[in-house]
Chains A and B, each alone.
Chain A
């Protein structure tokens, strides 16, 4: 038969859904703005790979300008100025963008994958498994992540990847709670029961029926997780407990604060903070705009049905 027709038609459905969602998304000024800011930061992060190649002076960590031994303001040579040992602040800012992206995206990815998996299992299995998993989630939920990181940082020296991992571990419960409640409501939907009546296994029901329905939500939560991960890592670095071998925006603020330049060097104080806020803001705006795509209730009337 003409079985070959099956595939492309199938794909079309997802393409169609994507284009439809995109059309709603791009109409949202907030989503557009978020995307543009995000693209700028991405360019900065990419640039951070190339700038150090210009010369040893432009290494964000060790590249002290030999001519400068104190913090200087913006100049032609150093666009944003230098810190107190003569390192270029703009280079550090670029490096910070890279770190923020790595921290934000990997934390969000780990915590959302973990949270989605646990949430689906918990919601679908129910009973004692559900109770146990949710109790564990409760414990993580009440613990302030920064405080935990501080305690751990006082006992061990944490590298950036360990920090990422710990933040991710602290952040899955809220995701899994939402995915769980979504799964619970899906579980009692007739189409899941119809599939059970047809003889489908639990495995099939979770992957074929529940997962496609919760994935958009999980994806949405990923953008929100990025925001909180970046903020926590920056706060940790700011307090001096970040990865000492890694320049980041939080670290830059830590230096300006601990070296006592905070009231003297606005060119040093302002950019990292603005960057952190803007980057988290852009992810947040992205999420909000996506929320509108996903939640038909918030769509303008008449476009829904």
Chain B
């Protein structure tokens, strides 16, 4: 019952936040130098169509009316028309979304699990050769410059050795012909490997470091001494008593670092020409396709907000002391 109320309250908060961001975005686009009409309406359209669009978006109206129309359009799913694709923005981003979610969630979850696992081991053997190796490795991963690392990976593993494709998500020839679903999945995985590797390496470092320092704090707690006094084995103390407590702050930081991970995600998509939201955003921004850029941005914001809610719930689930 209380959990439901908590979720409900959180949803309201998120909605308010989202609208604040939406509003700021609206005024940003109006405040920028130049003519908002040319910015919002595709110049390639016929004059009649342009007139139609101007009326539809209220661009001939005063600013406050435009704002109301803008909100109304947003609710009806009308996010404008992409200049470049000449198609409704909403359909484009819906098309790109699965690719991003596939890459992003896989890499985040994988990195979180491996990072937490290695961080746990490193902290438990603090000062050992393994710990030094893992910590320095994690530090290097954490401070890598993503696009550079991605280019390096691309250069060596795709260009020099040729094990993986240079970019994209599928090999078109496989999809034209009737091939089994199994081969198609393998093909996607083959394409996904390099971007996944890049994002995995980058996130791994920060999760490892976080878990390690969190674990070092927990090891000093009294209940670890109690556990030792019981005669439990090292492994049980580490995994059951220490790691579960140490993982809690790591969960919180997953939420807090989401915004940061999105930066990395966009850069990775761009270099591996992975057809996701991030790449679409960079593309839209480079080509002054403003409606598309706006829509991508709003989608990213919504995803981050919802992901934060999930993280909060997960935390409450993991920590019995918190009951919403």
Q: Do chains A and B interact in one complex?
A: yes
Contacts from A to B (Cβ < 8 Å): 138-139, 141-147, 150-156, 174, 227-228, 231-232, 234-235, 238-241, 253, 257, 262-263, 266, 269, 272-273, 276-277, 280-281, 284-285, 288, 297-298
> Shortest Cβ distance from A176 into chain B, in angstroms?
13
- Among A151, A238, A298, point to the contact of B28 (Cβ < 8 A): A151
CA distance A257 to B263 in the complex (A): 19
B217 close to chain A: CB less than 8 A: yes
Q: Nearest 5 pairs between A and B by C-beta?
A: A273-B148, A155-B32, A146-B263, A144-B262, A276-B145
Task: Output the residue of B143, B155, B285 with the most chain A CB within 10 A.
Answer: B143
Which residues on the B side are within 8 Å of A269 (C-beta)? 148, 151-152, 155
Which residues on the B side are within 8 Å of A151 (C-beta)? 25, 28, 285, 293-294, 297
Q: Which of B146-161 contact A (CB under 8 A)?
A: 146-149, 151-152, 154-155, 159
Majority SS at the chain A contact face: helix
Evaluate contact between B301 and A154: CB separation under 8 angstroms: no
Given contact pairs A142-B304, A144-B260, A277-B140, A240 touches B28 in the complex (Cβ within 8 A): no
Evaluate contact between A262 and B300: CB separation under 8 angstroms: no
- Among B29, B145, B263, B288, point to the contact of A147 (Cβ < 8 A): B263
Evaluate contact between A262 and B151: CB separation under 8 angstroms: yes
Given contact pairs A142-B301, A144-B262, A155 touches B28 in the complex (Cβ within 8 A): yes
Evaluate contact between A154 and B259: CB separation under 8 angstroms: no
B92 close to chain A: CB less than 8 A: no
Given contact pairs A145-B259, A156-B33, A235 touches B146 in the complex (Cβ within 8 A): yes
CA distance A284 to B147 in the complex (A): 19
CA distance A210 to B20 in the complex (A): 33
Evaluate contact between B155 and A273: CB separation under 8 angstroms: no
Task: Output the residue of A141, A143, A144 with the most chain B CB within 10 A.
Answer: A144
B266 close to chain A: CB less than 8 A: yes
B82 close to chain A: CB less than 8 A: no
Evaluate contact between B143 and A235: CB separation under 8 angstroms: no
